[in-house]
Chain A
Amino acid sequence: MSESYEYKYGFTTDIETEAFPKGLSEDIVRMISLKKNEPEWMLDYRLKSYRHWLTLTEPTWAHVSYPKIDFQALTYYAAPKEKKEKTSMDEIDPELVKTFERLGIPLSEQKRISGVAVDVVFDSVSIATTHHQELDEVGVIFCSISEALTKHPDLVKKHLGTVIPPSDNYYAALNGAVFSDGSFVYIPKGVRCPIDLSTYFRINAKETGQFERTLIIAEEDSFVNYLEGCTAPQRDENQLHAAVVELIAMENAEIKYSTVQNWYTGDKNGVGGIYNFVTKRGICKGKHSKISWTQVESGSAITWKYPSVILLGDYSEGAFYSVALTHDHMQADTGTKMIHIGKNTKSTIISKGISAGHSSNAYRGQVKIMASAENARNYSQCDSMLVGDKSSAHTFPYIEVKNKSATLEHEATTSRISEDQIFYLQSRGLNSEKAISMLVNGFCKEVFKQLPLEFSVEAVKLIEMKLENSVG
């Protein structure tokens, strides 16, 4: 691994931060709720989640290992101190504006990215959401979940926790108790969201856990393209990111959710980095609804993440497209669940794992065809590529079929880039780095083409850069 490699998002923002004392208790949960002026039911929800969390033990089934997390040593709320009420984007703390500019996310109205509305989350709070006017015109709600709790409490109350209840798993329960911010999206009936929506997550504060919560509701005949990006400064200690994302698609609605995850991975010896323990799930509630998850997982010290789809509506479709790159001492255990309940439901899984260095990369997936799911179809393809002989690749698919009319095909391969392939490309004038990145891009092509263009270009560059450093 060359020393020249630098995580270009590893800088720290020097800003005055207001943070709660370390540790987790009912009092901390109450403080978070109070801080955010939440309605009573929200506090109840948090307390129930917290009490449930206390009864659970950390899951150990994933193919990852890490020292025990001391949940009392974490800070559960940190936010930049606000000087006064801001009335427009231009009044955001210039330090923050500078930070996001360095990250490639201009916040000011003049410079903002056209065609994409952005919600930026810094540590525990949402800083800004752009393109309000354009979205208001068509009735699309895109704001932080805190804002949604005050402005649209009924919508939040109706849907929050319906796809991922706090009882779902250890981290979902923890998130239910202490989530601080995240995005809320509501696409009304018949609306095709005119611009892409995007949330950018940044962890800055030390020893802070980020517990974001995202909820997207697409009513009948609506469509939304949602993008998510994330980075964190380079720090020696591990940071915890335990997000919960819920998607709800009604009849004929379609939600496309794309992530480029580039949290700090830790250094070349495996010191530091983000623990990315995320629960993401969507439900295709109505007939002919569609949900797709596309992810490029290139960061974090440990990734534990299974974006899933419950296919409840007849003729609904779920998809999961994933590229997971691990290098150095990274560990990833990621995949999906496709639960077929409705008739004529269809799911597609394309997973590409690339392991380099001393890393470990596992695909874990489940396809379940319930007895009610007449004529369900699934196609899964899980390919692994090993770069170097110290890394490992694993595949753990679970296929459960309870209806004979189901058609399932699952394929997996493990391979490495062959010397012959590199030689062939070299003999046509490419250097070995270029040859490798070309082959890797070819390997990941089916996933990259699912991403919106700018994201796709970004993802290709990201993978290339990381691999160049891993292959050396």
Chain B
Amino acid sequence: MSWENTYLQFKSKSNLDSIAANQMRQASFENFLSQGLPTRKEEAWKYTSLTDFKAVPWQSALLEEEILTHDQLLAISKNLPAEFYNLVFVNGSLNQTLSDDLDSDITLSEIVAEDLVKDDKHVESYMLQLSKSFLSKKLIINIKSHKTFAKPLQIVVVQSSKASVYVSEKISIKVGEDAELTLIVNTFSFANATGDALNMNVDVSVANSARVKMIQLQNEDVQSYHFSQCEVNLASNAQFQSLAMSLGSKLTRNYLHVNFLGKNSFAGVYGLTILDSKQHVDNYTFIQHSIGENQSIQHYKSILSGASQSVFRGRVRIEQDAQKANSEQLNNNLLLTREASANSIPQLEIYADDVKAGHGSTMGQLNKDEIFYFLSRGINQFEAVKMLAFGYAKELVYKFEDQSVQDFLMKSLHSKLERMIQNV
């Protein structure tokens, strides 16, 4: 099935929307058709091939609303800790039964003309246009000034289909002055023969003195595709911290752009990629110091087994007026198996002189002396590798102090490592 057919399917099901929304989608879809999907000739897509993704006959999500089985409901509810405020979307629609009640800060709204992407120079333009062509609504989270959102807010995005459903999601987040939000976007899917695809688009606007923590926990079935484009704008004295924890999917592409538009703000951008079999994760981060006197730290780590592959392209740009910018970047890759491979492309583009910027990148396997030390204390190889891998990874989970968040992430981390290292 071609994208045209998928689009027609989608259109016939989403005719309840306004004319403006339809126009926006139509324009996005035309842009998408004229550009097509990126190939590896594109510098930004050099290490990630969409050939397999292209070959799948994608179905529009609205076409068949799957009913969840008892087991699936159980699996989802296991992911809904009482310490969190939970919203659950299944195949693109809000599931009222599983979700907590919407409160005044959170609304579901129609797409408007401003949601259209005009910039075809944007490195993620391809996926953005595709994402916007298939949007039926957006989730708006608006935290008023001086308010602290009571619990960590978890948005669970679940896909469950017999085969090959494509879904677009959009989340728009505004955190007012001196307000605070911890957000977890937890995506997963149930296994089917050909996998599903999710294409997420997230905007985060952090006002003066606001504090935002955002975790993308990505745990889809290993046949699935995951794309996300995230734009973060920071005002002055803002604190932003993110973690892209990539455990699932066959192919993941995360784009994250953080732009400093005020002063004295901090962004801590972290990533944890843990892969096995033939999984592929491509993280493209773009930290832009448009204004000076801000600090950014990036730390991405990967643990690779099977024939998996990770890509980290970390771009830091310090504009001419961004004096006294401070930027650090670190990428560590741990290769556990012969067939695993890693690519690291840390990029610094610096136009101001009074700045501190640096990056580091390491590749390697587990230290043999460390393993021997464990063995010599009676700990077997499997246990040693697991402990070392866990020790290597958890540092980034500890960046999030909230105990309930930490416990939640540790659980996912443990179960992935446990499964994975058995096969090493």
Contact = CB atoms under 8 A, between A and B. Distances in A.
Q: Determine direct contact between A and B, CB below 8 Å.
A: yes
Interface of A: 61, 369, 371, 384, 386-416
Nearest to A400: B343
A401 B350 CA distance: 27
B363 A406 contact: yes
Report the 3 A-B pairs with minimum CB-CB distance, sorted nearest first: A404-B335, A386-B353, A395-B348
Contacts of B340: 404
B320 A408 contact: no
Given A399-B345, A401-B342, A408 B352 contact: no
B350 A384 contact: yes
11 contacts: A392-B320, A392-B350, A394-B350, A398-B344, A405-B365, A407-B364, A408-B361, A412-B346, A413-B358, A414-B350, A416-B355
Nearest to A418: B354
A384 B348 contact: yes
Contact of B353 (A399, A401, A408, A416): A416
Contact of A391 (B353, B356, B364): B353
Contacts of A399: 342-345, 361, 363
B101 interface: no
Contact of B364 (A386, A394, A406, A412): A406
Contacts of A405: 365
Contact of B345 (A389, A398, A402, A407): A398
B359 interface: yes
A460 to B, nearest CB: 23
B349 interface: yes
Contacts of B336: 404
Contact of A401 (B335, B352, B357): B335
B333 interface: yes
A137 to B, nearest CB: 48
Count class of interface residues, chain B: 35 or more
Contacts of B338: 371, 403-404
Given A399-B363, A405-B365, A410-B361, A393 B348 contact: yes
B351 interface: yes
Interface in B307-336: 320, 323, 333, 335-336
B9 interface: no
A407 B352 contact: no
A407 B335 CA distance: 10
B81 interface: no
A460 B90 CA distance: 66
A389 B319 CA distance: 11
B333 A401 contact: yes
A415 B356 contact: yes
B364 A408 contact: yes
Contact of B363 (A408, A414, A415): A408
A358 B311 CA distance: 33
Contact of B354 (A389, A390, A397, A409): A389
Nearest to B364: A407
B365 to A, nearest CB: 5
Nearest to A63: B349
Given A61-B43, A407-B364, A394 B348 contact: yes
A402 B347 contact: no
B357 A414 contact: yes
Contacts of A409: 360-362
B343 A398 contact: yes
Contacts, number: 108
B359 A395 contact: yes
Given A389-B323, A392-B349, A399-B345, A416 B363 contact: no
Contacts of A369: 363
A414 B343 contact: no
Most chain B CB neighbours (cut-off 10 Å) among A371, A388, A412 = A412
A409 B346 CA distance: 12
B10 to A, nearest CB: 37
B298 interface: no
B93 interface: no
Contacts of B333: 401
A391 B336 CA distance: 42
Contacts of A397: 344-347, 361
B194 interface: no
B338 to A, nearest CB: 6
B279 interface: no
Contacts of A398: 343-345
A408 B353 CA distance: 29
B337 interface: yes
Contacts of B354: 389, 416
Given A392-B350, A406-B364, A409-B361, 6 more contacts: A393-B348, A397-B345, A406-B363, A407-B363, A410-B344, A410-B346
Interface in B84-129: none
B341 interface: yes
A63 to B, nearest CB: 8
A386 B352 CA distance: 8
Contacts of B348: 384, 393-395, 412, 414
B45 to A, nearest CB: 14
A395 B341 CA distance: 22
Interface core residue of B323, B343, B351, B355 (most chain A CB under 10 Å): B351
A61 B44 CA distance: 12
B271 to A, nearest CB: 16
Given A408-B361, A408-B362, A409-B360, A396 B353 contact: no
Contacts of A415: 355-356
Given A404-B336, A408-B362, A409-B360, A392 B351 contact: yes
B347 A394 contact: yes
Contacts of B337: 404
A122 to B, nearest CB: 40
Nearest to A407: B364
Contacts of B353: 386-389, 391, 416
Contacts of A402: 341
A115 to B, nearest CB: 41
A61 B42 CA distance: 11
A394 B349 CA distance: 4
B362 A395 contact: no
Contacts of A404: 335-338, 340, 365
Contacts of B345: 396-399
A71 B361 CA distance: 41
Contacts of A390: 320
B347 A395 contact: yes
Contacts of B344: 397-399, 410
Nearest to B329: A412
Interface in B209-248: none
